[in-house]
Chains A and B, each alone.
Chain A
Amino acid sequence: MQKPIIEIVDTINTAVVYDELSDAQSGGICVFVGTVREFTNNETVVSLQFEAYKSMALKEMHKIAEKASIKWPLNKIVMRHAVGSKKVQEAVVVVGVSAAHRVECFEACKFLIDTLKASVPIWKKEIFKNKSIWVSAHP
């Protein structure tokens, strides 16, 4: 597998990910893009604010990419997360893989985003009109 592209950035450009994952040995590419949703529990979201423990987050993302590459025969991996303030419809995370066949593409892509959400030290604050909430902080 080629060296994974793993980054924490201010702005995500979703247009570049196809070229980053495109690969002669691959028969498929799977990409997940996480975006800012307008409503949470019927309340209007103004923006999301993301904060990262950058050095550790990058380390954890590398671990996830390595686990995925052991579990499935992948050719390329991209994991990129945004920090800062993001407005409705903006991309906040993009993960993707390319592989010879689609089954490993879909499974590995799901693994990347599910594991990122569970373990990478990045935090999201939902900004509503009259309040703001750190997501998942309280039971």
Chain B
Amino acid sequence: MEVFLFGIAKDIVGKSDLDLSSIKQKPNTVGELIHFMNDSYPEFANLSSLAVAVNGEYASLEMPIQSNDEIAIIPPVSGG
């Protein structure tokens, strides 16, 4: 399971993608992934918001995630 990181999320983790295939308890939902990120990298808790995109679409906390999904952490956007 690979998670893409952008903006400040990339800075917090220190790389542009995170491989979760080796962790014991893989997150099964978007909510569990956010929980995992907050636990592993406490700086995420300080952000204004944190969203997750699954296959290029904003996903709800209940959305199940699978290893072949394209998953991305979306910190607060600031385009324009």
Contacts and interface: CB of A to CB of B under 8 A. Distances in A.
B74 interface: yes
B63 to A, nearest CB: 15
Contact of B47 (A34, A118, A138): A138
B53 A123 contact: no
B14 interface: no
Interface residues of A, number: 29
B77 A120 contact: yes
A50 B79 contact: yes
B76 A56 contact: no
A47 to B, nearest CB: 15
Given A53-B4, A59-B56, A137 B79 contact: no
Interface of A: 34, 50-53, 55-57, 59, 81, 92-93, 113, 116-125, 134-139
Given A53-B6, A124-B78, 20 more contacts: A51-B7, A51-B10, A53-B74, A56-B53, A57-B79, A59-B57, A81-B80, A93-B79, A93-B80, A116-B80, A117-B79, A118-B77, A119-B77, A121-B79, A122-B79, A123-B77, A134-B75, A137-B7, A137-B8, A137-B47
